[in-house]
Amino acid sequence: MDLELRLDAVIVAVTDGAPRLLAIGNPDRVRLSLPSATLSDEATLDLAVRAAIEKQAGLDVRYVEQLYTFGDVARREQDHRTVSIAYLALVKETELLVGAEWLGYYDLLPWEDHRVATHSLIESQIKPELLEWAGESEERLGRISVAFGDPFDGVRVLDRYELMYEAKLVEEWWADQQMKATSPVFGDSMHLDSRRIAATALGRIRGKLSYRPVVFDLLSESFTLLELQRCVEALAGVQLHKQNFRRLIERAGLVEGTGERASHGGRPAELFRYRSEVQLERSRLGVGQPYR
Amino acid sequence: MDLELRLDAVIVAVTDGAPRLLAIGNPDRVRLSLPSATLSDEATLDLAVRAAIEKQAGLDVRYVEQLYTFGDVARREQDHRTVSIAYLALVKETELLVGAEWLGYYDLLPWEDHRVATHSLIESQIKPELLEWAGESEERLGRISVAFGDPFDGVRVLDRYELMYEAKLVEEWWADQQMKATSPVFGDSMHLDSRRIAATALGRIRGKLSYRPVVFDLLSESFTLLELQRCVEALAGVQLHKQNFRRLIERAGLVEGTGERASHGGRPAELFRYRSEVQLERSRLGVGQPYR
DNA sequence: GGACAAATACTCAGATTGAGTATAAGTCCA
DNA sequence: TGGACTTATACTCAATCTGAGTATTTGTCC
């Protein structure tokens, strides 16, 4: 069997309260896909990924983490296996080279953003389709109730995407069958597995949020507590309770005031910076998830 | 650069209150290593791993999960890269084929078992060495205090192994330099990266314990609550408070009584079985960690 | 100088957690 | 046959954490 090894990267930034990921044009000119590179001669995989990103996209990578290795035999071409090691990278959004663009995460996965009235999208459009697909199957009904159930579990992004795929509710399913969709599909599609990998990445970020200080790799050097909160909310896809959020941040000792203040047309807020020393003090950090 | 792709498996079982992992003999006849296979023609990586394990070891694999993909250029042989996709598999311990054996996890990583008086091993033997290695370095001191600090964070198994490695406290460091150890080393060593991968696996299991029902893949069909607790304790490496443990198990609805009872020389306990239906009911399950 | 926007300060009930005490129901052996 | 011993099971309780508020301050912008 023919074998190919690639590195794929989900490069994430948060701007204007929306998480975005970097996508590049594709030979087929239709769908975008994740940036991808062949494995170079660097000593470690992490270094190879960083090098590839900095070369291809010219971005200053703050954080890199291995996501998952995908290696299914391609649905379309048998007798050929692409093993792709997917990485998650966090950056600050900047100007891009031509050929690349930022996609809104919630344009790809609209059912993941619960800051807005996504509830109705799920309840009135998605769930009926899913339930029809499930029929009497206990197994399917169970998966639906866990993935889309109440309380909504933000981390299960991949579970939800896979349900959508199996229920033919995303264009990728139809593309994999080399068909045109004949029933409604949701969210903007991407090339091959790109959207699935992006879903994996979002789930990972949401999971880490609560016990690792990942947000700070997406923010500027200094920020107000509200900006911090908005960034977390964008990633988690939920609105948080301001007072409780602050209580937590303070208790965790994650940030320190700079003394300066920023004003955006309200009472000016103090500017804070991340105290990177906490990594050396405490073990479990991060800006939890619930405290709605 | 020469490139090779392999599948490695950390096959874990819990017997007599001790977590164990499967190791196989090695050509060098000295150190044991993890079972490993080349990638076969199965449609997915998971299937390839299952097939390899069932063929090589004849075990009934209950659960399989991808761990991590390691791909550093070998420290010993330059110009050659082995990319190994490591998997975690959970089984019930059974008889083994010749050439394979069960290793006690805490023989490999003695500093991980806090059910016994490991505290003194760390405080009196390991920490002094680590501190000497750290010297004045804030970064090193911080890592030590987080990895070995109080409260002890069970999940950071890999962090601890890596500190031990960097501080030359495990035989693998010396082997990688092709030297004989001239200062004390801790735990039984394995071939190349095997022990590092094993450490990754234990960390993963401990992490999952609290939100996925992984224990049940290691237990028999029916078990007493104490057996369940002992199994969790073995993996977590901590002793738990019996009453609080039971309170949690009941609240979670993870198990149901079978009506039968088992006696081991005390008041007979009721036998329970895992309610696999919970997976379809609730989202966040598992048998938490703390409730000391 | 008022309307507005956001920050900051407190409060409070209910749930969760860590740690016990008390008692029941078996086995084992002298 | 009846302790001694083991383990199960039932409750209790204080401290803390969480979710959800209310009230007050301090700026900016017309």
A40-90, pLDDT tens digit by residue?
A: 888 899 999 999 998 887 888 989 999 999 998 776 667 788 899 999 999
Is the peptide bond between B268 and the residue preceding it cis, with omega within 30 degrees of 0?
no
Which of B31, B3, B8 minimizes the C-alpha distance to B200? B8
Count of beta carbons in the 10 Å neighbourhood of residue B244: 13
> B169, B184 in Cβ contact below 8 A?
yes
Question: Best mutation site among B46, B50, B146, B212 for testing chain A: the one with the most A CBs within 10 Å?
Answer: B146
* Closest protein residue to D28 (Cα–C1'): A265
CA of B242 to C1' of D9 (A): 11
> A27, A204 in Cβ contact below 8 A?
no
Task: Give me the mean pLDDT over the A161-174 stretch.
Answer: 97
- Greater model confidence, A189 or B263: A189
Distance CA B33, CA A224 (A): 51
Burial code of B253-268, b = ≥16 C-beta within 10 A, e = fewer?
ebbeeeeeeeeeeeee
CA of B17 to C1' of D15 (A): 33
CA distance A15 to chain B (A): 30
Any atom of strand C under 7 A from CB of B35?
no
Find residue A103's DSSP bridge partners: A21
List chain A residues with CB under 8 Å of B280.
Answer: 138-139, 141-143, 145-146
Decide if A280 and B69 are in contact by the 8 Å CB cutoff. no
Task: Select from B69, B81, B145 the Cβ nearest to the Cβ of A66.
Answer: B69
List chain B residues with CB under 8 Å of A277.
Answer: 142
> A71, B85 in Cβ contact below 8 A?
yes
Distance CA B292, CA B286 (A): 16
What the block records as the tokens of B96 is 């083994």
**How distant is the alpha carbon of residue B125 from its chain centre?**
23
Integer angstrom CA distances of residue A238 from B59, B67, B107, B216: 44, 29, 45, 33
Instruction: Give the side-chain half-sphere CA count within 13 A for A231.
Output: 24
> B235, B206 in Cβ contact below 8 A?
yes
Count of beta carbons in the 10 Å neighbourhood of residue A204: 21
Calculate what percentage of chain A has a pLDDT beyond 70. Answer: 92
Range with the largest mean pLDDT of A86-90, A100-104, B116-120, B262-266: A86-90
Pairing of β B80-91 and β B2-15? parallel
List chain A residues with CB under 8 Å of B281.
Answer: 142, 145-146
CA of A243 to C1' of D23 (A): 13
State yes or no: pLDDT of A210 exceeds 80: yes
Distance CA B150, CA B199 (A): 20
Distance CA B75, CA B11 (A): 25
State yes or no: pLDDT of B292 exceeds 60: no
Decide if B3 and A39 are in contact by the 8 Å CB cutoff. yes
Which of A132, A151, A131, A153 minimizes the C-alpha distance to A142? A131
**Model's pTM, two decimal places?**
0.93
List chain B residues with CB under 8 Å of A153.
Answer: 283-284
State yes or no: pLDDT of B164 exceeds 60: yes
In whole numbers, what is the pLDDT of chain B averaged over residues? 89
CA distance B188 to chain A (A): 26
> Is residue B149 very low, low, confident or very high in pLDDT (cuts 50, 70, 90)?
confident
List chain A residues with CB under 8 Å of B136.
Answer: none
Pairing of β B2-15 and β A269-274? unpaired
CA of B267 to C1' of C25 (A): 5
The end-to-end CA distance of chain A, in Å, is: 51
> Is residue B185 very low, low, confident or very high in pLDDT (cuts 50, 70, 90)?
very high
Find residue A270's DSSP bridge partners: A261
| Chain D bases near protein CB atoms (7 A cut-off) | 5-12, 18-22, 25-29
Q: Is the CB of residue B47 less than 8 Å away from at least one CB of chain A?
A: no
Interface contacts A/B by beta carbons within 8 Å = 87
Integer angstrom CA distances of residue A237 from A157, A203, A206, B194: 11, 11, 9, 39
> B161, B199 in Cβ contact below 8 A?
yes
**Angle of helix B157-166 relative to helix B194-209, nearest 10 degrees?**
150
Count of beta carbons in the 10 Å neighbourhood of residue A203: 21
pLDDT tens sequence across A7-46: 999 999 998 889 999 999 876 677 899 999 998 888 899 9
CA of A243 to C1' of C11 (A): 12
- Strand D CB shell (< 7 Å): A 241, 243-244, 247-248, 263, 265-268, 288, 290-292; B 224-226, 242-243, 246-247, 264-270
Pairing of β B61-70 and β B222-223? unpaired
Distance CA A197, CA B30 (A): 41
> Is residue B42 very low, low, confident or very high in pLDDT (cuts 50, 70, 90)?
confident
Task: Give me the mean pLDDT over the B95-113 stretch.
Answer: 87
Question: Best mutation site among B1, B2, B45, B136 for testing chain A: the one with the most A CBs within 10 Å?
Answer: B45
Question: What does the DSSP assignment read for B88-153?
Answer: EEEE------TTEEEEEHHHH-GGG--SSSHHHIIIIIIHHHHHHHHTT-HHHHHHHHHHS-SS--
∠ CA(B270), CA(B276), CA(B282), 5° rounding?
110
